[in-house]
């Protein structure tokens, strides 16, 4: 830590997050995230070299079930909220461009 987030990092994180932010948003988040991260530095006051990470507060075990067919949503119900569809498929813009040879 000991690190202040700069505007280029904010742009990079926005890209990783798949959020197309406006310039004013990027500037605003640079300031706000820096302030929050400065506060988070407080964690460094603690020596955790002998402490195990705790991902879950209760003992978590793998949960298995029999591999049996059970009632589930029909294709139509599952697709009912799709912004765009064609038949049994979600419809999205082209992923490959026309010159890709695909």
Partner 1 sequence: MSLLELTARQLRDGIAAGQIKSIDAVTEVFGRIDAHDPTIGAYITTFKEAAMESAFAVDARIAAGNPIGPLAGVPIAVKDNMCMQIGSTTCASKILADFRSPYDAHVIEKLTDADAVILGKTNLDEFAMGSSTENSGLKQTVNPWNTTRVPGGSSGGSAAAVAARLCWAALGSDTGGSIRQPASFCGVTGLKPTYGRVSRYGLVAYGSSLDQIGPLTRDVTDTALLMNVIAGHDQRDSTSVSESQASVPDYLADLEEPIQGLKIAVVSHLNEGAETEVADAIGAALQVYKDRGAELVEVEMPHFDYAIACYYVIATAEASSNLARYDGVHYGHRTTDADDYVQVYSKSRAEGFGAEVKRRIMLGTYALSSGYYDAYYLKALKVRNLIRQDFTKAFEQADCVIMPVSPTTAFKIGEKTADPLQMYLADVYTLAANMAGVPSVSIPCGFDKVGLPVGLQILSGPFTEDRLLRIARMYEKQTDWLTRQPPL
- Footprint of partner 1 (CB under 8 A): 1, 3, 5, 9-10, 13-21, 25, 29, 32-33, 35-37, 39-46, 48, 51-58, 60, 63, 65, 73, 77-78, 80-84, 90, 92-95
Give which of 99, 100, 78 is closest to 89, Cα–Cα.
Answer: 78
Least distance in Å: CB of 67 to partner 1? 14
Judged by beta carbon, residue 54 or residue 102, the one nearer partner 1 is 54
DSSP 17: T
Give ∠ CA 22-82-85 in degrees, rounded to 5: 110
């Amino acid at each position: 830590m000991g690190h202040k987030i700069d505007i280029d990092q904010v742009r990079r994180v926005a890209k990783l997050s798949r959020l197309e932010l406006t310039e004013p948003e990027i500037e605003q988040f640079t300031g706000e995230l820096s302030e929050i991260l400065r506060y988070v530095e407080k964690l460094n006051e603690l020596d955790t070299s002998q402490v195990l990470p705790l991902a879950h507060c209760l003992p978590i075990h793998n949960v298995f079930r029999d591999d049996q067919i059970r009632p589930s949503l029909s294709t139509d119900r599952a697709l009912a909220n799709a912004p765009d569809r064609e038949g049994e498929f979600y419809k999205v813009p082209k992923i490959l461009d026309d010159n890709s040879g695909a």
